[in-house]
């Protein structure tokens, strides 16, 4: 396990370059009817199969969390360290659960309060052990029980802190009632966000470093476009206490042209793994708003992600690697688990099957060992539902007995892995292939939240009310659409 998690850390640093339905509150007859707001704003009907997927994926967050401190594991079922990014997705998923009637608002409030109290009061400092973070940032992985740094190789992570803050700021804007608990949520969220010293990680200003370790100090790699770091800069620009300068966004976009161009029939700003096209979009509705770069290229970032989704499907149809199962409705590459560490001789060539790695296909690079990752499609449903929904349905129909559990799709599967070997993770599929046996929080999150954004715009509309999100976008130079309208303040 330690080798796998260390590989995941080095991957993060290198990214510059059916089963049984969960017994929910609704099934027990204890949940309220679906919130009137979400019903009124339902914009797209979805098939029962997608509603089932969303419900199961939500249940993963609810069941896997430690209710005492709100920490959510990196992977589950099984023993795991906590992932602060998983917590960010989970805090947001709780609001979806309330609106869909899967849990009560009181349950969500109590779980959210436990989480925010922990992060607000947990120890911060520069010691090797016993801390949760430093300068308002948090360690990437924490011990599920103690909440302190999981191991001495774990870094204080700027992007994972940002994904945590996505959920924190969602909670700040969603829990808006005039009672003591919801007021405390708002106050805690504000304190957690205001404490983050974004300028501390600007060792090569105006760019922001990927993180810090007590031993190695500031990581010598910065967030520069285009990847999942978009939200890092938006929150750093929106900070009322430690904001970065106006030149930060321009520096972030300066390298965009290195990956702008055509790939498998689509012209777009490339980033090989799909998570880079999904994470920031989980909380920010980029439809109709543009910065200087996107305005000059006559598209918004939502359209860019739509094209990336179509490009992934086209890559799978072309299937240059000749992998088993790839096609119109079986596709999707992003960071995920895999069969792990095998070099197999097939005919006159050697094939390497990786463990956890940033699988993807784009102008920047191609990393493809035949491993399909359902969240690559599922987290893109809002961008291109017409190709995502058939893909999710087809993968479940064909392989559901191996890849679909009470928590939805497992993290990944590989139909080309036919080696009879003892795999470190997952299991072999009878007749050929490999399937994971766990779900990853950072892959579950985009599924449940982007399904909701497609259904009702719910998460997007809550975040439009958040003054820090709006300020960050405006300082980055975004204009147009909802950002220029006061109507967003009346949403939800």
Contact in structure between 433 and 403 (CB atoms under 8 Å): no
Q: How far is CA 284 from CA 62, 166, 187, 287, 484, in A?
A: 23, 9, 22, 9, 15
Which residues touch 336 (CB under 8 Å, ≥6 apart)? 356, 357, 359, 371, 373, 375, 411, 412, 436, 440, 443
How far apart are the C-alpha atoms of 263 and 366, rounded to whole Å? 11
Reported pTM: 0.92
Radius of gyration, CA atoms only, the chain: 21
Q: How far is CA 35 from CA 28, 51, 103, 183, in A?
A: 18, 16, 11, 21
Of 451, 340, 452, 328, nearest in space to 395 by CA: 328
Q: How many Cβ atoms sit within 10 Å of the Cβ of residue 409?
A: 29
Contact in structure between 223 and 229 (CB atoms under 8 Å): yes
Contact in structure between 156 and 133 (CB atoms under 8 Å): yes
pLDDT value of residue 225: 87
DSSP result, 192-235: HHHH--GGGG-TTTTSEESEEETTTEE-S-EE-SSSTTHHHHHH
Determine the CATH number of domain 2-490.
1.50.10.140
Show pLDDT as tens, one digit a residue, over the chain (492 residues): 444 444 454 444 444 333 333 333 333 333 334 444 565 567 799 999 999 999 999 999 999 999 999 999 999 999 999 999 999 999 999 999 999 999 999 999 999 999 999 999 999 999 999 999 999 999 999 999 999 999 999 999 999 999 999 999 999 999 999 999 999 999 999 999 999 999 999 999 999 999 999 988 999 999 998 999 999 999 999 999 999 999 999 999 999 999 999 999 999 999 999 999 999 999 999 999 999 999 999 999 999 999 999 999 999 999 999 999 999 999 999 999 999 878 887 777 888 999 999 999 999 999 999 999 999 999 999 999 999 999 999 999 999 999 999 999 999 999 999 888 788 889 999 988 999 999 999 999 999 999 999 999 999 999 999 999 999 999 999 999 999 986 544 443
Residue 132 tokens read as 């949760």
Q: How many Cβ atoms sit within 10 Å of the Cβ of residue 16?
A: 12
Q: Are strands 208-209 and 360-361 parallel, antiparallel or unpaired?
A: unpaired
Burial 336-360 (b: 16+ CB within 10 A, else e): bbbbbebeeeeeeeebebbbbbbbb
Residue 15 tokens read as 């990214």
Q: Which helix (H) or strand (E) holds 115?
A: helix 105-121
How far apart are the C-alpha atoms of 384 and 307, rounded to whole Å? 9
Within 13 Å, how many C-alpha atoms sit on residue 274's CB side? 33
- The one-character DSSP state at 351 is E
Contact in structure between 354 and 340 (CB atoms under 8 Å): yes
Query: For the segment 154-190, what is each residue's pLDDT rounded down to a tens digit?
Result: 999 999 999 999 999 999 999 999 999 999 999 999 9
Contact in structure between 192 and 116 (CB atoms under 8 Å): yes
Contact in structure between 237 and 471 (CB atoms under 8 Å): yes
How far apart are the C-alpha atoms of 375 and 336, rounded to whole Å? 9
């Amino acid at each position: 396990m330690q080798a796998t998690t260390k590989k995941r850390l080095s991957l993060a640093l290198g990214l510059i370059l059916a089963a049984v339905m969960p017994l929910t509150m609704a099934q027990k007859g204890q949940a309220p009817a679906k919130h009137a707001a979400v019903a009124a704003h339902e914009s797209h009907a979805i098939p029962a199969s997608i509603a089932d997927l969303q419900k199961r994926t939500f249940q993963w967050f609810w069941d896997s969390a430690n209710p005492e401190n709100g920490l959510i594991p990196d992977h589950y079922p099984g023993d795991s360290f906590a992932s602060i990014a998983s917590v960010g997705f989970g805090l947001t998923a709780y609001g979806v659960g309330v609106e869909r009637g899967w849990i009560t608002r009181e349950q969500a409030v109590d779980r959210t309060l436990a989480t925010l109290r922990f992060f607000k009061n947990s120890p911060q400092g520069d010691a090797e052990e016993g801390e949760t973070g430093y300068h308002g940032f948090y360690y990437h992985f924490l011990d599920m029980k103690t909440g302190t740094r999981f191991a001495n190789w774990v870094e204080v992570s700027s992007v994972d802190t940002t994904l945590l803050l996505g959920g924190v700021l969602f909670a700040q804007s969603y829990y808006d009632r005039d009672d003591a608990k919801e007021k405390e949520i708002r106050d805690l969220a504000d304190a957690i966000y205001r404490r983050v010293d974004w300028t501390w990680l600007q060792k090569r200003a105006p760019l922001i470093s990927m993180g810090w370790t007590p031993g190695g100090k500031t990581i010598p790699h910065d967030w520069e476009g285009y990847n999942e770091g978009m939200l890092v800069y938006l929150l750093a620009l929106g900070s009322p206490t430690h904001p970065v300068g106006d030149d930060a966004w321009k520096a972030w976009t300066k390298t965009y042209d290195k990956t702008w161009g055509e790939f498998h029939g689509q012209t777009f700003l490339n980033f090989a793994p799909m998570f880079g096209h999904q994470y920031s979009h989980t909380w920010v509705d980029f439809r109709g708003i543009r910065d200087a770069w996107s305005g000059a290229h006559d598209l918004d970032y939502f359209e860019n992600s739509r094209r990336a989704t179509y490009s992934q499907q086209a890559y799978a149809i072309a299937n240059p690697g000749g992998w088993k199962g790839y096609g119109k409705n079986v596709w999707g590459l992003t960071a995920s688990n895999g069969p792990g560490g095998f070099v197999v001789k097939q005919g006159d060539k050697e094939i390497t099957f990786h463990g956890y790695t940033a699988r993807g296909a784009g102008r920047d690079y191609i990393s493809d060992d035949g491993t399909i990752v359902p969240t690559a499609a599922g987290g893109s449903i809002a961008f291109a539902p017409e190709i995502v929904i058939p893909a999710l349905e087809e993968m479940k129909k064909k392989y559901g007995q191996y890849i679909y559990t009470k928590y939805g799709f497992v993290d990944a599967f590989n139909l080309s892995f036919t080696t009879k070997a003892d795999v470190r993770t997952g299991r072999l599929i009878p007749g050929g292939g490999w399937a994971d046996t766990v779900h990853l929080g950072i892959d579950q999150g985009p599924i449940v939240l982007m399904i909701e954004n497609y259904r009702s715009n719910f998460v997007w509309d809550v975040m439009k009310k958040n003054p820090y999100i709006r300020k960050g976008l405006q300082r980055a130079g975004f204009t147009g659409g909802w950002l220029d309208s006061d109507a967003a303040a009346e949403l939800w």
